[in-house]
A and B are shown apart, each in its own frame.
Chain A
Amino acid sequence: MNNKLKMGLQSAFEAPIPKRKAQFLKTLRYPKISYLSFLGYQFAYIRKRVWLLSAFILLMGWTVSFSAAFQNFHMEASRVWTVSAILPFLTLLTVTEIFRSAFDCMAELETSCRFNLSQIVMARISILGTGNFIVLSLLLILINRSSHFGILRLTFYLLVPYLITCSLCLLILNRSSTRESMYGCAAAAGLVGIINMIIGSAVQFYSAGYLRYWILLSAAAIVLIGFQIHNLLKQTEDKTWNLLLTE
Chain B
Amino acid sequence: MSADLQEHYDKIYRYCYFKVGNATLAEDLTQETFLKYFSQNSYIEHGKKLAYLYVIARNLCIDTFQKKQFEELKEDVATVEPFERVELGIAIRQVLKKLPEQEQELLLLRFVNGLAVGEITAITGLSRFAVYRKTSSALSTLKRLMKEDDFS
Contacts and interface: CB of A to CB of B under 8 A. Distances in A.
B115 interface: no
A110 B4 contact: yes
A2 to B, nearest CB: 6
A230 interface: no
B14 A8 contact: no
B88 A15 contact: no
A29 B34 CA distance: 10
Given A109-B2, A110-B2, A18 B30 contact: yes
Contacts of A109: 2-4
Contacts of A48: none
A31 B74 CA distance: 37
Interface residues of A, number: 38
Contacts of B27: 18-21
Interface residues of B, number: 51
B96 A12 contact: yes
A75 interface: no
Contact of A5 (B9, B46, B143): B143
Contacts of B79: 14, 17
Interface string A1-28: 1101111111111111111110011101
Nearest to A114: B2
Contacts of A37: 45
Contact of A11 (B10, B76, B88): B88
A15 B78 CA distance: 9
23 contacts: A1-B111, A2-B152, A5-B92, A5-B143, A8-B88, A9-B112, A10-B111, A11-B85, A14-B81, A15-B13, A16-B76, A16-B77, A17-B79, A18-B27, A24-B9, A24-B31, A41-B45, A109-B2, A113-B5, A114-B2, A114-B45, A245-B3, A246-B1
Interface of A: 1-2, 4-21, 24-26, 28-31, 33, 37, 41, 109-111, 113-114, 245-247
Interface of B: 1-6, 9-10, 13-14, 17-18, 23, 26-27, 30-31, 34-35, 38, 41, 43, 45-47, 71, 74, 76-77, 79, 81, 85-86, 88-93, 96, 107-108, 111-112, 139, 142-143, 146, 150-152
